[in-house]
Homo-oligomer: A and B are copies of this chain.
Amino acid sequence: MANQNLPQIQPDAAAWLGRAQVADAIPCDTCPVRDISICSVLPRQKRAEFASGSHGRRIAKGTVIADEGATMTQVSSVVDGVVKLIKSTSDGRQQIVGLAFPADLVGRPFAENSEFRVETATDVALCSFSRSGFERVLAENPDVEKFMLKAKLDEIDKARAWMLVLGRKSAEERVATLLLMLAEREAKSIRHEGRAPTDVTFELPLTRAEMGDYLGLTLETVSRQFSKLRDAGLISFEDHRDVRVPSIARLAHVAGD
């Protein structure tokens, strides 16, 4: 019960930002999510403000953007990487209650404090508004508000779908469900010419411990289920981080629902 993967030390973001290979921010016109993120409905001038001098600014893996219960003054769009939303009990158990992928928004308009810890799972690129600035944009641009409402309605559906995973699925089904979600995301992202592939290879954005925290399992159970799925031929590994899913359909079958 008093288990879990306690908060890790947070690296020095400033130092990280100085590292050569990540110094460059992503400009709007080559932004990978410019057509599907909130920017697609943002007036040109507001978009410039959103990116606020540092289009797609880089944040190191493991950086805590906001603590649970703490003030959060920014609303951001994820341009690249994965962000974790984490809730904890007083005795240190923690649960990842959401993941934000590119084009998703993190931050909470109309509320002073964050309901959960917001922490980068990978190196991340963000575009940010101040919360008040974002609220002003919402009030002045009906299209933006409608976009946000639709996005949040989708987010609720996804959160509720995950409640079925946490409440009723076996360890094997949970792990398969997560892999399926990542595999489908990957398949969709590479459906350039023609249809989406059924055989995909991708890098896991989370450690075993993080996957446990997302799935309501321990890291050992996650590891065991990976081995089981590997032995059953449903997945294979290059190394611990790179997975191949030869048949998304077969994986979906194991995932349950």
A residues with a Cβ closer than 8 A to B are: 1, 4, 85, 87-91, 93-95, 97-98, 108-111, 115-116, 138-139, 142, 145-146, 148-150, 152-153, 155-157, 159-164, 166-170, 213, 215-216, 256-257
Count this chain's copies in the assembly: 2
Contact B87–A163 (Cβ < 8 Å):
yes
Query: What distance in Å separates the Cβ of A107 from its nearest Cβ neighbour in chain B?
Result: 11
User: How far, in whole Å, are A157 and B108 apart by their CA atoms in the complex?
Assistant: 10
Contact B153–A108 (Cβ < 8 Å):
yes
User: How far, in whole Å, are A169 and B88 apart by their CA atoms in the complex?
Assistant: 10
Q: Which residues of the other chain, B, contact A146 by a CB distance below 8 angstroms?
A: 138-139, 145
User: How far, in whole Å, are A116 and B156 apart by their CA atoms in the complex?
Assistant: 12
Instruction: Name the one of B97, B145, B157 contacting A115, with C-beta atoms under 8 angstroms.
Output: B157
Contact A1–B170 (Cβ < 8 Å):
yes
Q: Please name 25 pairs of A and B residues whose Cβ atoms are closer than 8 Å in the assembled complex, sorted by A.
A: A1-B170, A87-B163, A87-B164, A88-B257, A89-B168, A90-B256, A90-B257, A91-B256, A94-B168, A95-B167, A98-B163, A108-B153, A108-B157, A110-B153, A115-B157, A115-B161, A138-B146, A139-B146, A142-B142, A148-B149, A149-B152, A152-B156, A156-B156, A159-B160, A162-B163
Instruction: Name the one of B95, B149, B167 contacting A215, with C-beta atoms under 8 angstroms.
Output: B167
Query: What distance in Å separates the Cβ of A171 from its nearest Cβ neighbour in chain B?
Result: 11
User: How far, in whole Å, are A91 and B170 apart by their CA atoms in the complex?
Assistant: 13
Q: Nearest residue in B to A212 (C-beta to C-beta)?
A: B167
Known: A97-B163, A148-B149. 11 other contacts (CB 8 A): A4-B168, A87-B161, A87-B257, A88-B164, A89-B164, A108-B157, A115-B161, A155-B156, A156-B159, A162-B163, A166-B216
Top 10 closest A-B pairs, CB basis?
A167-B216, A166-B166, A97-B160, A95-B167, A159-B159, A87-B164, A97-B163, A95-B164, A93-B168, A166-B167
Contact B110–A150 (Cβ < 8 Å):
yes
User: How far, in whole Å, are A145 and B143 apart by their CA atoms in the complex?
Assistant: 11
Q: Which residues of the other chain, B, contact A168 by a CB distance below 8 angstroms?
A: 4, 89, 93-95, 216
Q: Which residues of the other chain, B, contact A95 by a CB distance below 8 angstroms?
A: 163-164, 167-168
Contact B98–A160 (Cβ < 8 Å):
yes
